Structure 1
Amino acid sequence: MRMGVMTLRNAVIAFFVILTAIVITKTDPGDRSPAASSGGGQRVVCSVSPQRPAEKGGRIVAAAQFRCDPPGPDGLTVTVRLQRNDGGTWVTVAQDTFVTNAAYTTREHSAAARTRQVGTACAAGTFRTHVEANVYDNRRNSGLSNASGERRNPC
């Protein structure tokens, strides 16, 4: 009889040890307060997709599209650059920076609403679109960068 009581007690102790280990491993040690962001406790993943420069209304236009997982980040800053190859060096000929956040970055909005563009007058040369983004979410920053394929004399 004494052996049965000891086994039950050991089983209860083992249960609580395992439960405590699970709770400890599932808790993020750096986040002891409620998250004050739209993304909750999980990090939102975003991507940027530059499009090859194209002619539009007598201008060379560089466009880039962004997309983030729902519910979107606390903040997203996107810089779109139209660049020309000048003797092997990419030189920025037009650029603009755009800021957005939350659901405006997700598929809840159309691809057109998540596309930003810059442009300049038509000119000869080889061009590309270069895009950089900074994602701010859950008090953390991460950067993204991507370049399109080249386009020679788009006009």
Structure 2
Amino acid sequence: MALKIGDKIPSFTSIDSKGDSFEIKDYLGKPLVIYFYPKDDTPGCTIQACTFRDKYEDFKSLGAEVIGISSDSLSSHQKFASRYKLPFILLSDFDKKIRTQFGVPNDFLGLIPGRATYVIDKNGLVQLIFDSTSAKIHIEKALEILKRM
């Protein structure tokens, strides 16, 4: 079942692009921008990641942390983060468990993992769900809602 505005985000763990264990509970207490994307090093996903990178200080100034999630491997995330100097957290969701917990829909007849952004308040409640194939708009929408929180 997909998350809705006002829902509490599910508890989850993963491995980040540095190879460290990640637990979402360690990040609750501050705003979060969690974005799901289809695949490292593809045109749209690279544009999205680089736009988050370029606006990262804007997110940090609003007290928020950015977390990107895809089903790519740890080594793929490491190369992607290094190549584009991504300063935020990338998580590997190789079994698509986190994507399923959030209820992120697939795109293009269900063949490609969907692109969705969630803005979470400091209490772990969903304040925005933005589901669009347009990569750049996700950043604008997330900043807009964070400024109002």
- Bigger CA radius of gyration: 1
TM-score, normalised on structure 1?
A: 0.24
**Structure with the higher fraction of residues in strand conformation:** 1
TM-score, normalising length: structure 2: 0.25
